[in-house]
Structure 1
Amino acid sequence: MESSVVLTGCTVVDGRVLDGTGPLPGAGVWVRGERIAAVGPAAEVTAAARAAGDVREIDLGGAYVTPGLVNMHTHLSLSLPGRAGDALKDMGPYDLALYMADGARRTLLCGVTTVRCVAEKDHADFALRRAIAAGHVPGPRIYTAGRALVCTGGHGHEGSDTLECDGADGMRRGVRSQVKAGADLIKIMISGGIAGEHEQIATRQLFSDELRAAIETAHSWGRKVTAHAGPARVVAEAVELGLDCVEHGYQLTEPVTALMAGRGTALVPTLLVTRCESFFAELGVPEWMRRRSLDAGPRHLESYAMALAAGVEVLLGSDMPPFWPFEGTNATVRELEHMSGNGLGPARALYAATLGPVRWLGAEADLGTIEPGKYADLVAMDADPLAATSAFRGVRWVMRGGTVVRDDATGWAVP
């Protein structure tokens, strides 16, 4: 018999507030098995659940309940230049799998119930996705690009989380190889970035025929394409060719953000990566990388402001491991705070962390809102996330697929 539980003592709020729906105070949420069966006034929902048979009731003590967070720029096998990155690169396949599984568990416990991996080592992400789906290890739902496609010597070429491809034919083969492995989307590196020693952020790394081949091939297989990208000129060309999402966007311009908005190209700004000096110090990254990151910060914020002004869809993504303790919270929440505080605001930040990413992933039939039929991926906190995004610092209860994986009131957390 499938489990049945009713959540009471809560206010339900999700990204539909931008459309005028909710919040719903005094709510009840009935969860049967993995999915939500009913949402409404607590008394009505509880009565319906009781009439259907045995039901367990959980009083959340006045909490605000939102959908679980979605982190759209995740690397569970991240290895930056420096001491910590070198240690991770030296891991064997079994060590790496266990390291990533631990990261997945920690990600889930901080309230991130879905991730989009955008370059992972050795295709270990596919094994991890299968293990989580089978219930062997706890973790978020995983959508993954497999290995990112780069030109020879391009951004990130040093690791096994990328695949070097040259020319249009090489890009086509690269896309097909990741689809064959099980990729849900394709990631391409179209410019330099912060972590490449022998490049600059503005360094162009793919030519027009390579861009076109990668995007057309991915789209022919029903896969969206996201691109690590910094400079406006190469972003504009990729968007014209059908690019679905831009990662970082360090050096955008008003014409380019207008083009992105008009074409429906999303932006995952990853604002943390140009304002995380303490994180870099912790990992022992070299001085050239630390300097490049911090120097890019002001222009990065200008690009983000241009994107907001143009109406570009912005989505949450930390680049740092989602669970990483950072500035009094975790990297996911700190990124969302930066997005909110630099012009997005709390209501749109909630959307950018839940329903917006889910719509990009094409998963809105199952995720993103608190509605009957959706998976019961939920988090609870005491403060109102519509009043301040910092409310997510207080996540104290997490449910994934109808199973409580964290409850601070009882001290329970999935091992």
Structure 2
Amino acid sequence: MALPNQLLGNCTVVDARVLDGVSPQKDAGVWIDGDRIAATGPYAEVAARARAAGPVVERDLNGAYVTPGLVNMHTHFSLSLPGSGGDGVKDLGPHDLALYMADGARRTLDCGVTTVRNVAEKDHADFALRRAIRAGWVPGPRMYTAGRALVCTGGHGHESGDTMECDGPVGFRHGVRSQIKAGADLIKVMISGGIAGEHEGIATPQLFADEMAAVIETAHAWGRKVTAHAGPAEVIAAAVELGLDCVEHGYQLTPQVAARMAERGTALVPTLLVTRCKEFFDELGVPEWMQCRSLGAGPRHLESFAMAVEAGVEILLGSDMPPFWSFEGTNATVRELENLAEQLGPARALHAGTRGPIRWLGAEDDLGTVEEGKYADLIAMDDDPLDDTSAFRGVRWVMKGGRLVRDEEQR
């Protein structure tokens, strides 16, 4: 019997149906050797190869559907919205904050989210957490992180330690380089207002063109992609022309701007939950002004998302709400994926939560599909997610890098 977080070594997963976004496989075997997939295919063939290589631990998943682990591309383990709940996070000391974030990482992995993209975390605690996860000191997903988000003086999110205030092209170039120096995998920049800033609106532009150009040019010169918190179409359009790689939220797109995003290869992480989560806001004591702004933006947000889908923009899964948060009968990651599926359909939603994000992260050689040579980051559920995305509500088995981190049958 394998225990949670035990490296299974030469392991064969048996009697599974593998869905990896490439080609569905029934009655499949997945041979896991160490932390990587050694082979996939018909069970009898894979099992024979594995047994020939040495002693085998076989795990019968009883016909479960196996997919790559989910990827959440808009994560904040140190999120602190306005209100009493957020104030409690802001008041944490550095040691408490690290432990709080580590607990969030553990809970995220337990949900079947094996990779995250952190897009603004407090005081560079994310880099310590990333090191701890890689070293095996704490359980958690693979982390790609932006460090602190860059923002103009007084701009969106300036109140917290998860942003760095900059002004002018020189200031923003320095901001990019400072995050890369700290270890950032990507750069996040706030180019407009949002729903959580009391003295701004969603449509408030916050960077001039030369400042946006400085961020994108500098980051690209260092081999880093740039994602931008952005709401209004005009601001997004200007950034897309400058080479922006990804838009977060995109509350107020137009068909023309969505079409240009598709042409330029600019992805969208729509974070649909943030404009339809009153229960979450109430739980955190979020003030009325923010709730009204957020929930009031919902209808236009959905229209904007539909425009992006129609234009062929690459859609990527990201919740903004903590990935593990219990919400509407499931966790925030799955609930966001269900919202995406209403427009995308189950197959494209699976792509948006697995292969698409991994490709954006540049990690497709190692992750994103169930194929030979890739890391054994796998999840299993009893229902078919290609029939209904809500199948992910039933994730019962989670593996990351060949280590079993959740097994409902052993609990």
What TM-score results when the alignment is normalised by the length of structure 1? Answer: 0.97
The aligned counterpart of 1:290 is 291
- Give the Cα separation in 2 of the matches to 1:129 and 1:104: 10
Query: Given residue 345 of structure 1, which amino acid in structure 2 is its aligned partner?
Result: G
The aligned counterpart of 1:345 is 345
- Give the Cα separation in 2 of the matches to 1:212 and 1:44: 54
1:49 Cα deviation from its structure 2 partner: 0.4
Alignment of 1:239 onto 2:245: no
The aligned counterpart of 2:336 is 335
Q: Secondary structure at the match of 2:73?
A: strand
The aligned counterpart of 1:408 is 408
The aligned counterpart of 1:279 is 280
Q: Secondary structure at the match of 2:367?
A: coil
- Give the Cα separation in 1 of the matches to 2:9 and 2:241: 49
Q: Deviation per CA, 1:222-281, whole angstroms, max 9, x where unpaired?
A: 000000000000000000000000000000001100000000000000000000000000
The aligned counterpart of 1:189 is 190
The aligned counterpart of 1:68 is 69
Alignment of 1:300-315 (within 5 A): 300-315=301-316
- Give the Cα separation in 1 of the matches to 2:350 and 2:339: 13
- Give the Cα separation in 1 of the matches to 2:10 and 2:350: 28
Q: Deviation per CA, 1:298-323, whole angstroms, max 9, x where unpaired?
A: 00000000000000000000000000
The aligned counterpart of 1:19 is none
The aligned counterpart of 2:3 is none
1:402 Cα deviation from its structure 2 partner: 0.2
The aligned counterpart of 2:163 is 162
Is the contact between residue 31 and residue 38 of structure 2 (CA under 8 Å) also seen in structure 1?
yes
Return the match for 1:5 from 2, 11, 26.
11
Alignment of 1:203-218 (within 5 A): 203-218=204-219
Query: Given residue 382 of structure 1, which amino acid in structure 2 is its aligned partner?
Result: D
Distance 1:2 1:403, change over 3 A: closer
Query: Given residue 357 of structure 2, which amino acid in structure 1 is its aligned partner?
Result: P
- Give the Cα separation in 2 of the matches to 1:85 and 1:304: 28
- Give the Cα separation in 1 of the matches to 2:364 and 2:329: 32
Q: Secondary structure at the match of 1:15?
A: coil
Q: Secondary structure at the match of 2:54?
A: coil
1:3 Cα deviation from its structure 2 partner: 1.1
Query: Given residue 323 of structure 1, which amino acid in structure 2 is its aligned partner?
Result: F
The aligned counterpart of 2:176 is 175
The aligned counterpart of 1:321 is 322
- Give the Cα separation in 2 of the matches to 1:4 and 1:281: 48
The aligned counterpart of 2:98 is 97
Alignment of 1:252-271 (within 5 A): 252-271=253-272
- Give the Cα separation in 2 of the matches to 1:223 and 1:52: 40
The aligned counterpart of 2:4 is none
- Give the Cα separation in 2 of the matches to 1:361 and 1:44: 33
Query: Given residue 263 of structure 1, which amino acid in structure 2 is its aligned partner?
Result: R
Q: Secondary structure at the match of 1:36?
A: strand
Q: Secondary structure at the match of 2:143?
A: strand
The aligned counterpart of 2:358 is 358
The aligned counterpart of 2:390 is 390
Q: Which runs of 4+ in 1 moved over 4 A?
A: none
Alignment of 1:31-46 (within 5 A): 31-46=32-47
Query: Given residue 366 of structure 2, which amino acid in structure 1 is its aligned partner?
Result: D
- Give the Cα separation in 1 of the matches to 2:98 and 2:286: 24
1:9 Cα deviation from its structure 2 partner: 1.2
Alignment of 1:224 onto 2:221: no
- Give the Cα separation in 1 of the matches to 2:20 and 2:77: 27
Query: Given residue 403 of structure 2, which amino acid in structure 1 is its aligned partner?
Result: T
The answer for unaligned runs of 5 or more in structure 1 is 17-21
The aligned counterpart of 2:20 is 14
Q: Secondary structure at the match of 2:279?
A: helix
The aligned counterpart of 1:113 is 114
The answer for unaligned runs of 5 or more in structure 2 is 1-6
1:2 Cα deviation from its structure 2 partner: 8.0
1:15 Cα deviation from its structure 2 partner: 2.0
- Give the Cα separation in 2 of the matches to 1:15 and 1:39: 14
Query: Given residue 334 of structure 1, which amino acid in structure 2 is its aligned partner?
Result: R
1:14 Cα deviation from its structure 2 partner: 1.3
Q: CA RMSD in A?
A: 0.8
Query: Given residue 381 of structure 1, which amino acid in structure 2 is its aligned partner?
Result: M
1:410 Cα deviation from its structure 2 partner: 0.9
- Give the Cα separation in 1 of the matches to 2:79 and 2:295: 20
Q: Deviation per CA, 1:144-176, whole angstroms, max 9, x where unpaired?
A: 000000000000000000000000000000000
- Give the Cα separation in 1 of the matches to 2:52 and 2:35: 20
Q: Deviation per CA, 1:35-93, whole angstroms, max 9, x where unpaired?
A: 00000101111111001111100000110000000000000000000001001100000
- Give the Cα separation in 1 of the matches to 2:245 and 2:283: 34
* Equivalent pairs, count: 405
- Give the Cα separation in 1 of the matches to 2:368 and 2:245: 19
Is the contact between residue 8 and residue 404 of structure 2 (CA under 8 Å) also seen in structure 1?
no
Identity of aligned residues (%): 76
Q: Deviation per CA, 1:317-362, whole angstroms, max 9, x where unpaired?
A: 0000000000000000000000001x10000000000000000000
- Give the Cα separation in 1 of the matches to 2:33 and 2:44: 17
Q: Secondary structure at the match of 2:154?
A: coil
Is the contact between residue 8 and residue 403 of structure 2 (CA under 8 Å) also seen in structure 1?
no
- Give the Cα separation in 2 of the matches to 1:225 and 1:51: 47
Query: Given residue 7 of structure 1, which amino acid in structure 2 is its aligned partner?
Result: V
Query: Given residue 152 of structure 2, which amino acid in structure 1 is its aligned partner?
Result: C
The aligned counterpart of 2:29 is 28
